[in-house]
Structures are given as structure tokens and as C-alpha cells.
Amino acid sequence: MAISKNDLKEFSSLKRKSKRSELGLFLVEGIKNCEELLASDYEVEAVLATNNSLHAFPNAINISSKDAARISQLKSPSPVMAIAKIPKNENSLKESNFIYFLESTNDPGNLGTIIRTLDWFGINQLACSIDTVDVYNSKTVMASMGSVFRTNVVYMDFTQLQSQFENHKVIATTIDGNNIYEFKIPEKSIIVFGNESKGVSKEILKHSFDQITIPRFGKAESLNVSTSVAVITNELVKSTFKG
């Protein structure tokens, strides 16, 4: 079965967040991600594949390499893609000792990698500021390597998050905070990771109970936010196991 002109036009428009919201659909690229999608609870609108990948996805709609390039957000389109439905139910955060909050994360690859990292450590929810990049951006989905389908990502104002978890202490990640290897994060905490270039905003810092940092031993100016999440989460998990 070949793709219709209408579907091609619609699927190609999913590069834009406004169209994803309007249509309630998002693009998934890559064989691994498509397999993870099909194994998840997400509703699948369509699976698309070029000729050389149809054998692995026999129910897929056949697309040409030209069609794939038109739909894809990547320079080198994957031979397999899928269109999935954005869940309609309004997400909410569940009670947890540690809540992660991303403030103004701009890079979709960073967000996807963070989601993948949290999934590795068994953390299945994440709060993001309203201006953080869309979780259904196809580059975010791809970087998550399927973890996005197991992670509840909620967009909200920080004040809203604080009011929901009013007994949690705000711990901000900064360049000159307490050494994470020597500091014990309070049992109930909201851990804030700031924008890639600006860090945590002054407004949130004013509400922070304390600040933490990963000590620098070399000459690099800073760490990527996704790397910071990985290091701090590893220390958090280690301290939890130690009791």
C-alpha cells in the first residue's frame, strides 16, 4: 500500500509543534524506536517503510526515499518511521521523594537523552517548564531510544510544581554549589536543572533550599545538562542504596 498525498502532506507537517498539537500526532523515526513504540501502550496511526525495510514491517505503508526525506526531520532519514497519537489524557505527577525539573531546556537531543538516562535509573516521570522543548519533537523521541514511551513528561510552571509538592525542598544545580559527592540531598526534594547556557534562573534560585554542583577536576567550562543529570542521578541512587 502506497502513501496518499493527503497523508504525506499531513505527516510532513509534524515537524512543527503547532501541527502536532492540532493533529494530535507525532513522528517516530528509526527501527529501534518504532519497535519500542509498537511494544508500548501508545496508539499507532501508521507505520511507514521504504522498500528495503518492508520485510521487517509487513503491515507498513510503502514510501519512497523522497517521501521519507520530506517527512523526516533528519539529514539522513530512517527507512522506517511511524506516526503515533499523542495521549489525550492530562498527565499529572505522582508523589515521589525526588522530583526532577528541567527549566528552559532548548535542545531536543538533550531532553531525549535525559529521558533515556532517567529510564535507565528507573525514574519514570519528569517535570519541565512550559518553555522546554516539546517531548514529541522527533529528535527528542529519537534521542530517547524508546524511553519516551515509558516516561511521564509533564509541562508546568515551577510555582505550580512547588505548590503540588510543598513539603519538598528545592535543590538547584549550579556551578558553585555544594559538592554532590559530599552533600546528601534531602529525602524529599525537587532537583532543578537549568537552561543549557544560562543555568537555573534567579527566580528559582531565590526559592532554593540549597545548591549542588559536580566538582570540576579539568579545564572544561561546563557540563552538558544531560551529563549533569546522569552524574547526579547516579550519586542519588548510590546514596539511596546506602540508606
Choosing from 85, 113, 129, the residue where a domain stops is: 85
Q: Give me the residue label for grid cell 524506536.
A: 33
CATH number at residue 15: 3.30.1330.30
Q: Compute how many other C-beta atoms are within 10 angstroms of the C-beta atom of residue 187.
A: 10
- Percentage of residues of the chain with pLDDT beyond 70: 98
- Give 43-80 pLDDT, tens digit per residue: 999 999 999 889 889 899 999 999 999 999 988 999 99
Beta-bridged to residue 18, according to DSSP, are none
Position 90 scores a pLDDT of: 66
Instruction: Judge if 102 and 153 occupy the same domain.
Output: yes
Instruction: Judge if 103 and 215 occupy the same domain.
Output: yes
Residue 93 counted as domain residue: no
Residue 100 cell numbers, joined: 526532577
Instruction: Judge if 55 and 174 occupy the same domain.
Output: no
Span 214-241, mean pLDDT? 93
Q: What are phi and psi of 160, to 5 degrees?
A: -65, -40
Give the domain range for residue 25.
Answer: 5-85
How many domains would you assign to the chain? 2
Q: How far apart are CA 176 and CA 214, in angstroms?
A: 9
Position 84 scores a pLDDT of: 98
Instruction: Judge if 233 and 155 occupy the same domain.
Output: yes
Residue 223 cell numbers, joined: 557540563
Choosing from 34, 52, 85, the residue where a domain stops is: 85
Position 241 scores a pLDDT of: 67
pLDDT at 1 over 80: no
Position 52 scores a pLDDT of: 85
- Give 19-31 pLDDT, tens digit per residue: 999 999 999 999 9
Instruction: Judge if 131 and 202 occupy the same domain.
Output: yes
Q: How far apart are CA 98 and CA 117, in angstroms?
A: 15
Instruction: Judge if 162 and 55 occupy the same domain.
Output: no
133 touches 108 (CB < 8 A): yes
- Percentage of residues of the chain with pLDDT beyond 90: 90
Q: How far apart are CA 184 and CA 176, in angstroms?
A: 16
pLDDT at 142 over 60: yes
